[in-house]
Amino acid sequence: MTNSDELLFSTCVSGRIDDGVLVVTIDNPPVNAASAAMRAGLLGAVHAANNDGSVKAVIVTGNGRIFVSGADIGEFGKPPVDPSLPDVLEAIEQSAKPVIAAINGAALGGGLEIALACHYRIASPAASLGLPEVKLGIVPGAGGTQRLPRLTGLAVALDMIANGRAVKAAEALASGIIDAIADNPLADALGKLKSDEKPSFRKTSDLAVQAESTDKLEPIASKIRSRARGLAAPLEAVRLVLASATTAFHDGLADERNTFIRLRESAESAALRYVFFAEREAAKVDGVKDVAPRSVKKIGIVGTGLMGSGIVVSALDAGYHVTGVEQTDEAAQKGLERIVGLLERNLKSGRIDEAGLAARLSRLSVSGDFAGLADADLVIEAVFDEMAVKTGLFRRLDGIVRPDAILATNTSYLDPDLIAAATQYPERVLGLHFFSPANIMRLLEVVRCARTTPDVLATGLAVAKKLGKLAIVSGVTEGFIGNSIFSAYRREAEFLVEDGASPEAVDAAMEDYGMAMGPFAVFDMAGLEIAWARRKRQAATRDPSARYVDIADRLCEAGRFGQKTGRGWYRYENGKRQVDFEVAEMIDQARSSKGIVPRLVAAKEITDRLLAAMASEGKRLLGTGVAARAGDIDLVMINGYGFPSHKGGPMYQAGLADSPAI
């Protein structure tokens, strides 16, 4: 091979010779996944280098902003195609010619495993390196659990692999994963090979895993085990990493490979892969492709209560200038204190540093003067959820903000089309439905109103992305996607109680299923009065023949509004949830007033009925076009309502989701 040769090893792996060095470039858009063609090309390149006496070294790099994003997840459900990634990596590691990984961008999963099998690693400063396999319900399957601890030690490898935590180049260098950082890793690798002082090449598998004390490892492992909540992948990851210290390298590899294949076939992994692709699909929104969002630099937020202050912090975290507005200076002062309190909590927990706190405060103003909103690009209201309050506010904003400013309502249940109709330019109104605490929760329902223009919607989506939120577009219906399903879930949970189940039995069944909290514990946490007020509003129009459970009304009439009043479906003592016999009595009375004889309701019936209720409401939302895809519904329930991601969501469970080939 000579300098002029253009070499093609497969459709997505090419090479060129630079002064006796074979530079291998992976170009497999969009993310350089390790597909069958990529693996074959890489293997061909290593063989070619070893069969050519004029080649003295090999550099592997990626084209674009990513080195290699990992195995091609889309291939997981299909029959395996040779060569396998472990076979390719064995060839790389055993290559007589040294192989350098020039890590131009993200090296994830199988991508990092390729780099670990090379004899030297140089990364660009922005590259992130990680083994996120557990997030897909699997463990690394090409040596990650055995090679990483040989470079970093067990504690770091445990944290990175069992938590799926990626690190940036600087941390990777400090923990021994890479050997150098360079702005242009490929140029740096070529330079190092040409210089007299050659890099010190070594095979990762030749290194011994450094012994580490149980005192150091056990707390890390037990934290991972308790967070795993019964999931197999993190537990297997812990086992495999710890075994690397006591098992011969190739035995460890074989164990890892078998575990990877077993987990890849699991229901957990199929569900998590479905969720991965559903998130990518959710970003593709009808009608806004190629529509440029408006520029947003300053966000106004009306109302700095619990929700508003969370939104303020989220916007500050994302780098926006923020003006918070309240009705009075006194309320503004309270709002400011709430916001500063949240920021200081983040400082204390290490999420931000002193400089970050100062930068955020320098971009914030809070006052009782609405004129502060005059130059805002986007105004989000987070005021009391009552139609007259919201329409009055939007009418007032019309006279204050620029005509091209976007107005967003954070309403949970009101009709945003009616709110928009109160304004002069309804086409600039959309819903941005945050979940509490708004600076923590990842979900944001972006509500497309009847007259929202595509660029206004595109702006809402762009802002959501900058806020680090998972945006799911919803059409208009009472409660949008999430609360519509949650209402159906609530209704069925109350039917179950009326039929004979206790609230704690319903909660236990759903928690065993994997929900973060059972429904009745959630109702108490959120407060029972809002749903009560809605039920009262709807009473006049309710179908008298429809089944109606009045137990929650009875609780509210007795002043039991949930956790904040110390009593709801449960009793709370020092914040601890307790079963309350008074509630049991009230339930008994409610049943007997309807002549219902309670029956035993098994845990399976509880989960079956609650899942079916959610799926059936989801089907209605798809039918009416409020939700565009079953996957969107599942993502809302996972990210806003504590549905376990490893179960895929209620639509996935009901077989109503289109799963790609996973």
Where along the sequence are the contacts to ligand 3H9 (CB under 6 A)?
30-31, 33, 66, 69-74, 85, 106, 108-110, 113, 132-133, 136, 140-142, 144, 277, 280
CB of 35 to ligand 3H9, least distance (A): 8
Q: Is-catalytic flag, 133? A: yes
Which residue lies nearer to ligand 3H9 by CB, 74 or 437? Answer: 74
Name which of 139 and 307 has its Cβ closer to ligand 3H9: 139
The one catalytic residue among 75, 90, 93, 133: 133
Alpha-carbon distance of 149 to 138, in angstroms, equals 18
φ/ψ of 367, rounded to 5, equals -155, 175
Look at residues 292, 322, 496, 302 and name the one whose alpha carbon lies nearest to residue 382. 302
CB of 164 to ligand 3H9, least distance (A): 8
The full 3-state SS of 376-404, as one line of letters, equals CCEEEECCCCCHHHHHHHHHHHHCCCCCC
Helices (H), 244-328: 249-264, 267-282, 306-317
Q: Cα–chain-centroid distance for residue 29?
A: 23
Instruction: Phi first, then psi: give them for residue 67, nearest 5 degrees.
Output: -75, -75
Q: What are phi and psi of 89, to 5 degrees?
A: -70, -35
We find the least distance from the C-beta atom of residue 71 to ligand 3H9, in angstroms, to be 4
Displacement of CA 126 from its chain's centroid (Å): 21
Q: Is 494 a catalytic residue?
A: no
Q: Which residues pair with 100 in a beta bridge?
A: 59, 120
CB nearer to ligand 3H9: pick between 144 and 293? 144
Contact 580, 565 (CB under 8 A): no
Q: How far is CA 466 from CA 127, 176, 258, 276, 320, in A?
A: 20, 32, 40, 20, 9
Tell me the C-alpha distance between 291 and 289, whole Å: 5
Query: Edge to edge, what strands does the sheet with 106-108 contain?
Result: 66-68, 106-108, 128-130, 167-168
Q: With respect to ligand 3H9, which residue has the nearer C-beta, 133 or 159?
A: 133
DSSP symbols for 83-128: SPHHHHHHHHHH-SS-EEEEE-SEEETHHHHHHHHSSEEEE-TT-E
Closer by beta carbon to ligand 3H9, 148 or else 342 = 148
In terms of C-beta density within 10 A (0-12 exposed, 13-18 middle, 19 or more buried), how is residue 258 classed? exposed
Report the nearest approach of ligand 3H9 to the CB of residue 128 (Å): 8
Q: Are the C-beta atoms of residues 499 and 594 closer than 8 Å to each other?
A: no
Task: Give the residue at shortest CB distance from ligand 3H9.
Answer: 109
Give the nearer residue to ligand 3H9 in terms of CB position, either 118 or 422: 118
> Closer to ligand 3H9 at the Cβ: 263 or 614?
263
Q: Which of 302, 467, 479, 282 is nearest to 380 (CA)?
A: 302
CB of 394 to ligand 3H9, least distance (A): 34
For residue 310, what are its two tokens? 């969370």
| β-sheet bridge partners, residue 62 | 26
Q: How far is the CB of 662 from ligand 3H9 (least distance, A)?
A: 10
Q: Of 110 and 562, which has the nearer Cβ to ligand 3H9?
A: 110
Contact assessment for residue 380 and residue 351, using Cβ atoms and an 8 Å cutoff:
no
Task: Return the number of the residue (61 or 483) whose C-beta is nearest ligand 3H9.
Answer: 61
CB of 170 vs ligand 3H9, minimal distance in Å:
18
Phi first, then psi, for residue 99 (nearest 5°) are -115, 125
How near is the Cβ of 596 to ligand 3H9 at its closest, in Å?
Answer: 50
CB of 282 to ligand 3H9, least distance (A): 10
Distance between CA atoms of residues 420 and 408, nearest Å: 9
In a 3-state reduction of DSSP, which class is residue 198? coil
Q: Exactly one of 90, 93, 113, 268 is catalytic; which is it?
A: 113
> Which residues are catalytically annotated?
113, 133
